[in-house]
Amino acid sequence: MASSPSLAGRAASAAQTKGLGRYFPFTRWLFNYRREDLPSDLVAGIVTAIMLIPQSMAYAQLAGLPPQIGLYASVVPLIIYALLGTSGQLSVGPVAITSLLVFSGVSTLADPGSARYIQLVLLLALMVGVVKLLLGLFRMGVILNFISHPVLAAFTTASALIIAAGQLKYILGYSIAGPHIYDILYNAVVGLGMTNPVTLTIGGASIAMLLFFRKKLRPILQKAGLNPLAVTLIVSGAPLVTVLLGSIVTWALRLDLTAGVAVVGSIPAGLSPLSWPSPNVADAQALMPAAAAIILVSVVESIAVAKALASKRRAVIDPNQELIALGAANIAAGLFSGYPVTGGFARSVVNYQAGAITGLASLVTAGGIALILLFFTPLFYFLPQAVLAATVIVAVFGLVDLKEPAHIAQANRSDAVTWGITFAAVLLLGIEAGIFVGVGVSLALYLWRTSRPHIAVVGQIGESEVYRNILRYDVKTWPHVVAVRVDESLYFANTRYLEDELLRIIAERPEVKHLVLIGSAINFIDSSALHTLEALIQSLRDAGVQLHLAEIKGPVMDGLKRAHFVDKLGTEHIHLSTHQAMRALGCA
């Protein structure tokens, strides 16, 4: 493959990929690995590992799990994804929103951190994995398209706020209860007197450091003339530096004993142990909403990131194969003591910027985490939980986008309503219920819109064959013929509305003898609509008006013929174009 093939060539080659390469994408890069890609993949793998070490522990804490579970989730699942995924840049592992969904779904069934809690999380990972795998194998990825942009945008922003609020307890150093964000904020304010000043100082300093690294460090380093790769390396290493600094200070001053600073404590050394989530019908049923929410959100986000990065590299990804790869990675998470994983946005961008070309980068990342697990876990004994919380808070800052609803409202008011309802539902009802409310609202608004279609009376533009809305264009009309364009497919939800509108149009034009229904925007006619049209032929005839059809599309016409509607209407009442219909009726 050339280094920059044409889009056409790429799409064609992806479409033609068959056999081994299709189901085991690693065979496409591993067996013809190009030596010159090695340094780039190596560096990217190491950079991503450095970023993933604090993230995986912090997100595990967010999910109500001990830190090693986050590290376990960053080894075997990454290897599996590297072998089966079609993106060389996607960085799979723990991510913030999935971690929150795990916490909200499982913490109602067991105490966070308990053995039963971990068992349930493993089962959840297995469920998520199996469903994703099946969706991919049966090429059903299309059903994930039912999560719309406004729903995802509102969900992400609201979840980020919930995540940040949930971390307050680690920063302030006292327990803050409450399933909902308003409980959390209320209890946080009520308990302010219990604040641990040392913990707050560590947390606040960490947030300040991380924000500085994130916002200011890159321009400074760039001005200093460092090469871009070094800049990326230093910037992505910043959270790890913060973590190590926090640990050293805490250890040096023994703040865990002298000031009651909560620390991570001992992390067992050794690679991810095998696990077997004992499947149990009642547990699986209880976990189903959480699994559905995780699948919806994580897959959409992850495939969108992979697509965007692929497009920058002029490569294509196969969404169904991505589902298979993410499914297998989650099954691996369930079997190797991890928890649900997916492709993270920020980490994937870093992986891409650091030069990841093939799945080898992910294999290197997994190797890095494995080394930490084998030899360096004691390093994190004195890591304050407040530093991990700071990592989470700064990471989710970037997810809060309060300008997006304004952008959405410009394009489409009902999408802005969807944004608002989803946002409110996530904050007030919780994130699982929120996502389902959002999906439900966007579907309901779509159905509502199609049930009241736009119906335009049209006339001829000049002497052309173009017919447009009489309310928008200066057009020619004739008294004895009215041409009406219905801007929607005819189906059960809008046929009665159509009937009422057509009768109203006729009622307003007593001289009309012919009604031409223009089907250029009618993509199908279901049997309910057919019933209505048959009744309409008769009621129009009773009123001395003949029904005509024009610009009916091929597949729609096939259906009308099969159902003998054409016989009932008469073939002389069917016209190829509006212009031909008008000429046949003595106009134009």
The footprint of a second copy on residues 427-486 (CB under 8 A) is 442-443, 446-447, 449-454, 464-466, 468-469, 472
Quickly tell me which residue has 């008294």 as its tokens.
479
Find the binding residues for a second copy in span 162-191 (CB under 8 A).
Answer: none
Alpha-carbon distance of 156 to 165, in angstroms, equals 14
Q: Per-residue x/- marks for a second copy, 340-359, CB under 8 A?
A: --------------------
Alpha-carbon distance of 390 to 393, in angstroms, equals 5
What is the DSSP code string of 438-483?
Answer: HHHHHHHHHHHHHHS--EEEEEE-TTSS-EEETTTS--B-BTTEEE
Residue nearer to a second copy on the CB measure, 4 or 278: 4
Quickly count: other Cβ atoms within 10 Å of residue 175's Cβ: 9
Smallest gap, in angstroms, from Cβ of residue 520 to a second copy?
4
Residue from 48, 98, 247, 495 in contact with a second copy (CB under 8 A)? 495
Smallest gap, in angstroms, from Cβ of residue 420 to a second copy?
13
Alpha-carbon distance of 431 to 327, in angstroms, equals 22
406 binds a second copy (CB under 8 A): no
Q: Which stretch binds a second copy (CB under 8 A): 144-152, 200-208, 228-236, 266-274?
A: 144-152
411 binds a second copy (CB under 8 A): yes
Q: Is there a contact between 361 and 44 (Cβ–Cβ < 8 Å)?
A: yes
Residue from 496, 567, 583, 586 in contact with a second copy (CB under 8 A)? 496
492 binds a second copy (CB under 8 A): yes
Residue from 22, 37, 110, 149 in contact with a second copy (CB under 8 A)? 149
Rounded to the nearest 10 degrees, the angle between the axes of helix 360-371 and helix 76-84 is: 170
40 binds a second copy (CB under 8 A): no
From residue 437, how far is each of 134, 340, 442 by CA, in Å? 25, 23, 9
Residue from 2, 8, 192, 252 in contact with a second copy (CB under 8 A)? 8
Q: Which stretch binds a second copy (CB under 8 A): 159-167, 219-227, 335-343, 517-525?
A: 517-525
Q: Which stretch binds a second copy (CB under 8 A): 83-91, 214-222, 230-238, 523-531?
A: 523-531
What is the DSSP code string of 505-564?
Answer: HHHT-TT--EEEEE-TT---B-HHHHHHHHHHHHHHHHTT-EEEEES--HHHHHHHHHTT
Number of residues that bind a second copy (CB under 8 A): 90
220: CB partners within 8 A, 6+ apart = none
Q: Is there a contact between 129 and 328 (Cβ–Cβ < 8 Å)?
A: yes
Smallest gap, in angstroms, from Cβ of residue 315 to a second copy?
12
Smallest gap, in angstroms, from Cβ of residue 482 to a second copy?
12
539 binds a second copy (CB under 8 A): yes
- Among candidate residues 409, 36, 76, 379, the one with its CA nearest the CA of residue 240: 379
Burial of 34 (0-12, 13-18, 19+ CB in 10 A): exposed
Q: Which two tokens stand for residue 584?
A: 């046949």
Find the binding residues for a second copy in span 283-342 (CB under 8 A).
Answer: 308, 311, 314, 316, 319
Residue nearer to a second copy on the CB measure, 424 or 443: 443
| Angle made by CA atoms 240, 241, 247, in degrees to the nearest 5 | 90
Smallest gap, in angstroms, from Cβ of residue 496 to a second copy?
5
Quickly tell me which residue has 């959390």 as its tokens.
184
Q: Which stretch binds a second copy (CB under 8 A): 26-34, 54-62, 249-257, 537-545?
A: 537-545
412 binds a second copy (CB under 8 A): yes
Q: Which two tokens stand for residue 247?
A: 């640990």
510 binds a second copy (CB under 8 A): yes
Find the binding residues for a second copy in span 46-65 (CB under 8 A).
Answer: none
Smallest gap, in angstroms, from Cβ of residue 497 to a second copy?
7
Find the binding residues for a second copy in span 568-587 (CB under 8 A).
Answer: 576-577, 579
Residue nearer to a second copy on the CB measure, 111 or 401: 401
Q: How far is CA 19 from the centre of its chain?
A: 29
Smallest gap, in angstroms, from Cβ of residue 483 to a second copy?
14
Smallest gap, in angstroms, from Cβ of residue 314 to a second copy?
7
Straight-line distance from the first to the last Cα atom of the chain, in angstroms, rounded to the nearest whole number: 57
- Among candidate residues 42, 54, 114, the one with its CA nearest the CA of residue 236: 54
Alpha-carbon distance of 100 to 163, in angstroms, equals 7
81: CB partners within 8 A, 6+ apart = 90, 92, 325, 326, 328, 329, 359, 362
Residue nearer to a second copy on the CB measure, 193 or 555: 555
222 binds a second copy (CB under 8 A): no
Smallest gap, in angstroms, from Cβ of residue 384 to a second copy?
40
Residue from 24, 33, 146, 182 in contact with a second copy (CB under 8 A)? 146
Smallest gap, in angstroms, from Cβ of residue 545 to a second copy?
8
Q: Which stretch binds a second copy (CB under 8 A): 34-42, 52-60, 213-221, 520-528?
A: 520-528
6 binds a second copy (CB under 8 A): yes
Residue nearer to a second copy on the CB measure, 37 or 404: 404
513 binds a second copy (CB under 8 A): no
Alpha-carbon distance of 140 to 298, in angstroms, equals 16
Find the binding residues for a second copy in span 73-112 (CB under 8 A).
Answer: none
Length of the chain: 588
227 binds a second copy (CB under 8 A): no
Smallest gap, in angstroms, from Cβ of residue 35 to a second copy?
28
Find the binding residues for a second copy in span 14-33 (CB under 8 A).
Answer: 15
Alpha-carbon distance of 79 to 89, in angstroms, equals 13
